[in-house]
Each structure stands twice: as C-alpha cells, then as structure tokens.
Amino acid sequence: MDSPSGLEVTKKTRLEKPDQKIVLVTAMQMENLSKECSKTAGIKDNDTLKMPFRLSRLVSAFRDH
C-alpha cells in the first residue's frame, strides 16, 4: 500500500477541517505545484515553500497564518 502524498493529505484535511492552517514544503517545480494545488487541495501560492528555503521564510509562513 502506497503512502498518501502531501497533496492528498492536504485535500483530505481541507475537506474535514476547512479552517486548518497548512504550509506545504516541497521540492516540486512551483509552476506545476501551483496548478495542481489550486485544483486539488486549495493551497495558494503563498502557502508553499520550495526547498531549499531559509528558516526565516518558514517562520514567516507560520506567523502570517
């Protein structure tokens, strides 16, 4: 059995808890991720961090939510 992807977990979380704050960390190309996220998981561009990123960017993402 395969583990669910981060996008699958995010989509399920959005369905069960629409107000849950989510920051997605990925190594995926942002162009592909943004399209896929907006269609399947409802994640906005500013909710994603592409690796590598600075720790200060992660702190800001949590603080801004």
Higher per-residue confidence, 30 vs 55: 55
pLDDT at 17: 92
Higher per-residue confidence, 44 vs 22: 22
Closest CA to 10 of 1, 2, 20: 20
Q: What counts of helices (H) and strands (E) characterise the chain?
A: 3, 2
**Residue 50 DSSP class:** E
User: Is the pLDDT reported for residue 6 higher than 90?
Assistant: no
pLDDT at 3: 83
pLDDT at 16: 93
